[in-house]
């Protein structure tokens, strides 16, 4: 498994950017140490595009981001961490880097030199696409309008950089270098003054690549040295002016020059159909890297390897591992290198193997392969499991029926997903889809037996495979498929045969073989082996973006039975999870990946952890919710505006909006506080626009329906305007008050389980208090760390925490006490067993109980309430009375029946053959009872 010898006790995720750099993080180290965190867990730290709010758009893997404080700032942060016996985990992004603009030297070199660039193989570029206009060239789809219009409007110009003598075409902030082979011809038009440089540039292109690069650079330096001379400057200005798009002749000259370059300028809309390089999903300014190549692997990881070797970094999270050509080989190679470097770390650096996790979405029943040699995934698995546990299965049928009533559509999420999967490959990923189809068709053409299968037929069966694909991707290679992947593909082929054309079922079987059903290394002809490996890579790097864009970025915004289940890593088709299923998942994690990360909030989540916990309460009270929605939809009909004949929102978007209003409504709010209501309105407006566009029903990112969006925006503004929607606001506030305590208790149970079940708990920034955040960028807002540090230092009494639970300090206190215990008993959590306990009595279904044990040493008995509506006697209090628990009791194993447990939270004691919940009532509504602490 390659698990770390000393896994982190607990991590705290921070989003670094120029508004919150290393020094700002350093100032919070003391607070996190006091809270009980062992490792900071940082967003990417290498140089990203200027102004990046997240760091996933690297432009230079060779340096630490200067906007974060550079390497000096990093060293200051690490020094502070070491003073508090803490470590650092960083996010790395091997799949892609930012392109376009003029800040990525590798990309600019490719544009300038084409296939001869030393970086041509760094990017996942198909230089041999069937389109003759792109053969040997790179599509550059960075224009905001069609190429001809941009050229006509003078937006594309020829420029010359005075410092470097670099010629380039400029389109706003985008620079497109002119190929070296055209310098001599351009300078020749400048007359005798530039004649020496014409010869110099012409001569520079002789010899091999290295000589050409050196010669060309020398020629540029020579020209730069004399550019300030009046005659040279005048001659160069003349060249630029002759290519000015302001005249028909200049425009024609510029066009001819651009058409000869190693790139083809194009409108951004062309990317969907024509792009010939892999992107991160459909993002045109993030280009895929070929990190499977040794040179690329070394260049991408060189800096972080050095920082790890020097003892500055202690672990890694690999972003979007499924985007890579061969994730298994990559992870194993990364682990091997880190193991070698570990022996070279300073003696005072934290020891043991580095913590290594991967960002991966696992489908229900899918397991991360143990031979990847990682410590597990980055937390989505647990986030889905604990979220499902909080939902009452009895609420599923009425809530699905209610959704169908308002939306007029199916309540089956799988139906929505399949519709999206049919649409997305053609609308957003057509070029990638076509590339995969061509790769498969080329295999068909190599054999007389299969050559008559047409490209159209291949596209049809490929589309069916994508519709029915149940996971992000498979991992076939030259050896063929694993047993798990073979099972997945059997399922996919069987489903595709039910929906494909009858006459093309045979082709499905052939495609199945080409995609790894027959191990490529068993094919005798080397050319065919390579063709099959290319097709496998195309397919496996296509299924991931199809899944992400179809499910998370489309179906999640079209299906609204209960939005708390529409979360990254979750399957809305799985409404809930039983106690028994949750226990089984925890035991499995103990056996397979005991150091996997446990997250309940991330920088990518759709809704904050406590917002989801509150919405889960609706599963316990579907009738209460149905009545509220009926009142609101009736009362607010007249608030829907007509914008140019377009009314909005429609019933589907309105229903989802009410859920978000309930979930995001602050715990403490004054209905007369216009400033607070305006702030909430602005936050929800950001979510609303994103939701409407991602759904692609009434609007979209490519072709936004601005009238519909404005109607939705105006409706929301009116709802939250006390002078317009006062009656609604009072009703909404009362409704939220009726479920807020239950939602808060859900949030506390979720936190308790994250900190005590097998794995490494992660605290996302700001989630030490209540987290009612929305989708990004709302979930990346600044955090008031000073207030949190002051609250922790004040150490308020339990009575105060319980009475003032709405301010969030009770959650912070729970985290601090549990993390303090983890610090005292690290082996219990790193190596201890997870033992489910039987619960009996009237409210047995409302409690999850287990014990963590380690030999004859310490033990922790955890009692987490669930489905709390039936437990709480008051909507204003988190207390659960003895009467509410009734005869509910936890059955202890024989070896724990004669001991005395002490509650970490309030020092209550419990003992006996059974633990009666009535013994623990009236104070904290949950318990973590210790033995031998």
pLDDT in tens, 363-372: 999 999 999 9
Query: Pairing relation of β-strands 283-288 and 315-318?
Result: unpaired
Which residues in 755-905 belong to E strands, given as ranges?
Answer: 760-764, 833-836, 838-840, 847-853, 859-865, 889-891, 900-903
Q: Is residue 900 over pLDDT 80?
A: yes
Q: 232-251: b or e for each residue (b if 16 or more CB lie within 10 Å)? A: beebbeebbebbebeeeebb
The H-or-E segment that residue 647 falls in is: strand 646-647
As a whole number, mean pLDDT of residues 168-177 equals 98
Is 338 within 8 Å of 486 (Cβ atoms)?
no
- Which is it for strands 847-853 and 838-840: parallel, antiparallel or unpaired? unpaired
Bridge partners, 433 (sequence order): none
Q: Find residue 46's DSSP bridge partners.
A: 64
The mean per-residue pLDDT over the stretch 893-911 comes to 87
Cβ-based neighbour number of residue 124 at 10 Å: 22
pLDDT of amino acid 855: 85
Task: Give the per-residue pLDDT at 909.
Answer: 86
Asked whether 324 and 95 are in contact (CB, 8 A), the reply is yes
Q: Does pLDDT of 636 surpass 60? A: yes
Q: Which tokens go with 915?
A: 């633990």
| 525 CB-contact burial (10 Å; exposed 0-12 / middle 13-18 / buried 19+) | exposed
Kindly indicate the confidence band of residue 725, based on its pLDDT and cuts at 50, 70 and 90. confident
CB neighbours (10 Å) of residue 666? 17
- Sheet strand arrangement including 279-280: 96-98, 283-288, 279-280
Query: 498 Cβ partners below 8 Å, 6+ apart?
Result: none
Contact between residue 758 and residue 582 where contact means Cβ atoms under 8 Å apart:
no
pTM of the model: 0.96
CA distance 92 to 1: 21
Q: Which helix (H) or strand (E) holds 39?
A: strand 39-42
Q: Is the pLDDT of residue 4 over 50?
A: no
| Mean predicted confidence (pLDDT) in 264-289 | 97
Is residue 658 within 8 A of residue 715, CB to CB? The reply is no
Q: Which residue do the tokens 């055209």 mark?
A: 182
CA distances from 79 to 36, 91, 463 (A): 18, 19, 53
Structure-token pair, residue 373: 């040699």
Looking at 525-569, list the stretches that DSSP marks H as alpha helix, in order from N- to C-terminal side: 526-547
* Res 209: pLDDT: 86
Gap between the Cα atoms of 891 and 32, Å rounded = 37
| pLDDT tens, position by position, 207-248 | 888 899 999 999 999 999 999 999 999 999 999 999 999 999
Going by pLDDT thresholds of 50, 70 and 90, the confidence category of residue 763 is: very high
Is 80 exceeded by the pLDDT of residue 727? yes
Residue 527 has pLDDT above 90, yes or no: yes
Give the Cα separation of 606 and 387 in Å (integer).
Answer: 13
Residue 704's pLDDT is: 97
Distances (CA, A) of 793 to 30, 122, 748, 784, 823: 11, 50, 21, 15, 18
Q: What does the mean pLDDT of the chain come to?
A: 96
Segment 463-482 shows an average pLDDT of 97
Per-residue pLDDT reduced to its tens digit, 911-925: 878 999 988 876 899
616 close to 390: Cβ distance less than 8 angstroms:
yes
Q: Where are the alpha helices (DSSP H) in 600-705?
A: 609-616, 622-635, 651-664, 674-695
The dihedral formed by the CA atoms of 423, 429, 432 and 436, expressed in degrees to the nearest 10: -10
Q: What is the pLDDT of residues 340-370, one digit of tens each?
A: 999 999 999 988 889 999 999 999 999 999 9
> CA-CA distance, 675 to 139, in Å (whole number)?
48
| DSSP H/E element including 98 | strand 96-98
The 10s digit of each residue's pLDDT in 26-81 is 999 999 999 999 999 999 999 999 999 999 999 999 999 999 999 999 999 999 99
- Which of 347-351, 461-465, 809-813, 870-874 shows the lowest per-residue confidence on average (mean pLDDT)? 347-351
Q: List, for residues 829-862, the tens digit of each pLDDT value.
A: 999 999 999 999 999 999 999 999 998 789 999 9
- Which band of pLDDT confidence, cut at 50, 70 and 90, is reported for residue 5? very low
Question: What are the φ/ψ torsions at residue 666 (nearest 5 degrees)?
Answer: -60, 150
pLDDT, residue 6, reads 63
pLDDT of 785: 98
Q: Determine how many CB atoms are found less than 10 A away from the CB of residue 683.
A: 18
Closest to 747 measured CA to CA, from 718, 773, 708: 773
Helix, strand or coil, per DSSP, at residue 464: helix
**Among the listed residues 370, 371, 334, the one whose alpha carbon sits nearest the alpha carbon of residue 354:** 334
The residue count for the chain: 933
Q: How many Å apart are CA 772 and CA 663, to the nearest integer?
A: 7
Give the pLDDT score at 470: 97
Distance between CA atoms of 597 and 593, rounded to whole angstroms? 9
pLDDT value, residue 342? 95
How large a percentage of the chain has pLDDT more than 70?
99
CB 13 within 8 A of CB 26: no
């Amino acid at each position: 498994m390659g698990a770390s010898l000393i896994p982190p006790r607990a991590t705290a995720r921070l989003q670094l950017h120029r508004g919150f750099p290393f020094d700002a993080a350093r100032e919070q180290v003391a607070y996190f140490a006091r809270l009980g965190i062992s490792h900071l867990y940082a967003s990417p730290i290498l140089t990203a595009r200027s102004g990046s709010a997240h760091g996933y758009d690297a432009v230079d893997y060779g340096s630490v981001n200067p906007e974060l404080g550079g390497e000096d700032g990093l060293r200051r942060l690490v020094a502070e961490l070491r003073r508090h016996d803490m470590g650092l985990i960083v996010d790395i992004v091997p799949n892609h880097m930012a392109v376009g603009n003029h800040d990525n030297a590798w990309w600019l070199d490719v544009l300038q030199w084409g296939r001869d660039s030393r970086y041509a193989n760094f990017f996942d570029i198909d230089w041999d696409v069937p389109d003759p206009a792109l053969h040997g060239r790179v599509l550059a789809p960075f224009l905001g309008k069609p190429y001809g219009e941009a050229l006509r409007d003078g937006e594309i110009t020829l420029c010359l950089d005075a410092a470097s003598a670099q010629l380039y075409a400029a389109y706003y902030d985008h620079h497109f270098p002119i190929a070296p082979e055209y310098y001599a011809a351009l300078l020749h038009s400048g007359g005798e003054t530039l004649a020496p440089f014409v010869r110099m540039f012409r001569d520079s292109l002789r010899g091999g690549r290295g000589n050409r690069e050196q010669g060309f650079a020398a020629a540029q330096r020579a020209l730069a040295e004399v550019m300030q001379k009046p005659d040279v400057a005048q001659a160069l200005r003349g060249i630029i002016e002759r290519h000015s798009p302001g005249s028909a002749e200049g425009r024609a000259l510029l066009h001819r020059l651009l058409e000869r370059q190693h790139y083809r300028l194009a409108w951004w809309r062309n990317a969907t159909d024509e792009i010939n390089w892999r992107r991160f999903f459909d993002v045109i300014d993030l280009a895929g890297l070929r990190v499977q190549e040794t040179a690329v692997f070394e260049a991408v990881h060189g800096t972080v390897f050095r920082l790890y070797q020097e003892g500055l970094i202690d672990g890694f999270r690999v972003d979007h591992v499924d985007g890579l050509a061969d994730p298994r080989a990559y992870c194993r190679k990364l682990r091997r290198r880190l193991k070698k470097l570990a022996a070279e770390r300073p003696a005072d650096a934290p020891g043991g193997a580095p913590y290594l996790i991967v960002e991966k979405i696992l489908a229900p029943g899918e397991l991360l392969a143990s031979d990847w040699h990682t410590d597990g995934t980055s937390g989505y698995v647990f986030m889905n499991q604990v979220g499902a546990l909080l939902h009452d299965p009895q609420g599923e049928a009425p809530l699905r029926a209610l959704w169908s009533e308002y939306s007029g559509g199916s309540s089956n999420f799988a139906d929505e997903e399949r519709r999206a999967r049919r649409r997305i490959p053609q609308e957003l990923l057509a070029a990638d889809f076509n590339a995969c189809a061509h790769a498969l068709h080329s295999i068909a053409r190599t054999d007389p037996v299969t050559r008559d299968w047409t490209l159209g037929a291949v596209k049809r069966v490929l589309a069916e495979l994508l519709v029915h694909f149940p996971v992000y991707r498979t991992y076939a290679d030259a050896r063929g498929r694993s047993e798990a992947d073979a099972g997945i593909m059997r399922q996919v082929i069987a489903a595709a045969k039910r929906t494909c054309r009858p006459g093309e079922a045979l082709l499905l079987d052939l495609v199945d073989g080409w995609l790894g059903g027959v191990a490529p290394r068993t094919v005798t002809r080397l050319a065919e082996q390579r063709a099959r490996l290319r097709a496998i890579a195309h397919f496996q790097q296509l299924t991931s973006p199809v899944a992400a864009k179809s499910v998370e970025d489309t179906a999640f915004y079209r299906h609204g039975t209960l939005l708390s289940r529409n979360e990254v890593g979750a399957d809305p088709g799985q409404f809930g999870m039983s106690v028994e299923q949750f226990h089984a998942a925890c035991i499995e994690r103990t056996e397979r990946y005991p150091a996997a990360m446990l997250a309940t909030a991330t920088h990518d989540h759709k809704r904050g952890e406590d917002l989801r916990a509150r919405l889960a309460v609706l599963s316990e009270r579907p009738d209460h919710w149905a009545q509220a929605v009926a009142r609101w939809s009736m009362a607010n009909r007249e608030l829907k505006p007509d914008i140019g004949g377009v009314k909005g929102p429609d019933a589907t978007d309105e229903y989802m909006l009410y859920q978000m209003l309930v979930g995001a409504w602050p715990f403490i709010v004054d209905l007369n506080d216009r400033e607070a209501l305006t702030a909430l309105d602005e936050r929800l407006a950001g979510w609303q626009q994103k939701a409407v566009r991602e759904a692609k029903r009434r609007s979209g990112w490519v072709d936004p329906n601005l009238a519909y969006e404005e109607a939705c925006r105006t409706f929301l503004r009116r709802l939250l305007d006390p002078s317009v929607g006062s009656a609604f606001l009072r009703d909404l506030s009362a409704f939220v008050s009726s479920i807020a305590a239950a939602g808060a208790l859900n949030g506390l149970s979720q936190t308790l389980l994250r900190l005590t079940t097998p794995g490494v708990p992660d605290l996302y920034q700001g989630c030490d208090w209540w987290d009612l955040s929305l989708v990004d960028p709302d979930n990346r807002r600044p955090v008031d760390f000073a207030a949190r540090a002051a609250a922790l230092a004040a150490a308020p009494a339990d009575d105060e925490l319980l009475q003032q639970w709405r301010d969030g300090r009770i959650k912070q206190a729970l985290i601090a006490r549990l993390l303090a215990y983890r610090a005292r008993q690290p082996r219990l959590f790193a190596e201890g067993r997870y033992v489910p306990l039987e619960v009996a009595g009237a409210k047995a279904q409302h409690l999850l109980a287990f014990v963590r044990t380690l030999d004859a040493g310490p033990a922790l008995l955890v009692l987490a309430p669930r489905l709390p509506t039936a437990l709480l006697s008051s909507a204003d209090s988190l207390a659960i009375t003895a009467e509410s628990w009734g005869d509910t009791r936890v059955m202890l194993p024989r070896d724990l029946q004669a001991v005395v447990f002490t509650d970490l939270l309030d020092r209550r004691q419990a003992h006996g053959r059974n633990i009666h919940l009535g013994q623990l009532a009236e104070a904290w509504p949950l318990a973590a009872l210790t033995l031998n602490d």
